[in-house]
Amino acid sequence: MKIGKLCCLPLAGMAVLIMLSGCGRQQTVESPELLAAGARQEAVDLGSLSSLTSAEKKAYSATSSLDRNLSPGMERQVRYHFMKYSRERRGTMENFLRNSIPYLNYTKSVFRSRGLPEDLAYLAYLESGYNPFAVSRSNAVGMWQFISSTGKAYGLRQDWWMDERRDPYRSTEAAASYLARLYDIFHDWHLAVASYNGGEGKIGRAKEATGASKLHEIIQKNDTLDYKLQLREETALYVPRFLAIAKVMRNADILGIQPSAPDADHPVLIPVSQLTVRPATDLVELSRRIGLNWKEFQAYNPHFLRSISPAGRTATVYVPKNKEALARQVLKGSVSGAGWRYYTVARGDTYAKVSSRTGVPASVIRQLNPGTLKKGQRLRLPVNGKNLPAVIPSAPARSTAVASASSKKSSVRSDHASSALAELKGSRASSRSVPATYTVKSGDTLTSIARKYDMDLDDLYAANGGADNLSMLRVGQVLRLSAPARTTAVARASSAKKAPARMTSHKVASGETAYAISRKYGISFAELCAVNGGADKLSSLSPGQVLNIPAGKETSVAQNAAAARKPQAAPSRAAASRVAEYSVQNGETLWSISRKFNMKPMELLALNGMDQSTRVKVGDTVKVIRNK
């Protein structure tokens, strides 16, 4: 967005390497190149579709509501960028596609739910390459590249503890609200999208000065405008670039573009569940207890800037769905460990002096350690982001080995199917016998025991009555390494009684991989293998081949994430709430008010007989739902 662009780069430019503050991590942000002035004539000379391959013609000709009936000049620019992205920048597109796997279907569902074109979800490719950690030179942050003021205006909290511009889910909701507002202003999607980059004021003034009603008309007259009114080249080319990327990504299968393989900096993220943590929860210890290292936890929770959750309020964390039950169990008890450091108060120390020595704001030190400072007192502070401990997660050795192998293979061009095959082979190799119990020896940890028997820590917790029972190990303590035999037998009997799963079918298209098909239907690669004769039979697919698909599965990873974010059933809310009037405060919007009262934006609009074009000002009264 304006205000927030990764680029203004030369022709072969890539983005800069940026170190985020706090617990952030270093990120390299790739961005497609701008069409340099010298390349414009080349774009004009393209003239027709004759230079495209048959696959490219098919992909280019597939239009949506946003790229139909383009002016000749706009058409040439879109075609030029389409060719650049699908050919020269193909590797970048594959990286972007990999980055978007956890989020793309979710972002589309958000735009659809607001009655907006779902193709707007492709705008995040142009903004950040779907990188939640992206930071521009103008300090625009996150997948949707919000600057601080715009982020706050759309309800994204930013403070010492966290930055919700980096939250993939909340920032997507904010981007949808912002784009809806821009469309309300211009009633034209090309102008609205250009405004996301250049700002509504800039586009509005250029529109008024030229007397134009369409973006391409403004661009045609741009050179006649006063210098201060002229659109920057980046803004003039923003919409063609967006439409080109949308065409490429919408038709990635036709073009044979596959997601890049995951690597150490881009792990595979599975569907998430949303949980609430208490104030000042040790996030490093939480990640360790649920079997994630800190880097993995950050990949799911890029909005946290510190090793500890905010001290004065609850916060939202995202955990893999298969870790939800364990995380809930862990959060019931005390969660404190490696995320904290300690400072001993010296004579003459004040909160200000301690702050200057530790880098922690005095207000935070006081909040975490209330009362008067005394010599010798130990203050508890969050670990410095640059010195986070090398946390060893409670995770099986097999997973670590597979991840390491995947990282080594990342330099080789391979699809996700080979990685999935490697994981399945690892699973089969580890299916050796495990004793019923184990006696703890000196130096043992839960991690080393799980590694020794190639177990999941979740299974170790479950077999021994939960995580709290294993918070401390004693020499001589006897641990159960599997569930009681009776329970296992009952589970097997129950499994044997299950009715055969209903099946549907899928006809393999040219260029499709087994992994891509499993992702399309929201099933795991292992499930697809199980109903199609094993992994070996799926290592090479032929066009027209018919595969079995378990029926009744969810169709997208991101839809599962969206479902995890849904509030509890309405009846309990209605029973414990009442309608009240609220006076709008300075800087508030309907979006921020809905967040303040834990309401859906559409619920707030419906309650007040408003629509998305409604604007409020200081002193206006709106109806809200308050908890009794």
Domain ranges for the chain, please list them.
17-28+53-255, 272-387, 397-541, 570-627
pLDDT of residue 552: 57
Q: Does domain 570-627 have CATH number 3.10.350.10?
A: yes
CATH of 272-387, one of 3.20.20.70, 3.10.350.10, 3.40.50.720, 3.40.1390.30: 3.10.350.10
Exposure string of 161-190, with b = 16+ CB inside 10 Å and e = fewer, is: bbbbbbbbbbbbbbbbbbbbbbbeebebbb
DSSP code, position 274: E
The parts of the chain modelled with pLDDT lower than 70 are 1-50, 385-434, 443, 445-448, 450-462, 466-472, 482-501, 510-516, 519, 524-526, 534-540, 552-578, 587, 595, 600-603, 605-606, 609-614, 627-628
DSSP code, position 532: T
pTM, two decimal places: 0.59
CA dihedral of residues 180, 183, 189, 190 (deg, nearest 10): -120
Whole-angstrom CA distances from 142 to 66, 148, 151, 170, 510 are 24, 11, 10, 11, 35
Structure tokens at 267: 């792990």
Distance CA 261, CA 413 (A): 8
Whole-angstrom CA distances from 489 to 241, 430, 495, 496 are 59, 22, 10, 11
Q: Which residues contact 593 (CB under 8 A, 6 or more apart)?
A: 582, 584, 604, 616, 622, 624
CB 5 within 8 A of CB 134: no
Same fold for the pair 397-541 and 570-627: yes
Architecture of domain 17-28+53-255: Orthogonal Bundle (1.10)
Q: What is the DSSP string of 576-622?
A: TEEEEEEEPPTT--HHHHHHHTT--HHHHHHHTT--TT----TT-EE
pLDDT of residue 111: 96
pLDDT of residue 467: 55
pLDDT of residue 40: 43
397-541, CATH topology level: Membrane-bound Lytic Murein Transglycosylase D; Chain A (3.10.350)
pLDDT of residue 96: 95
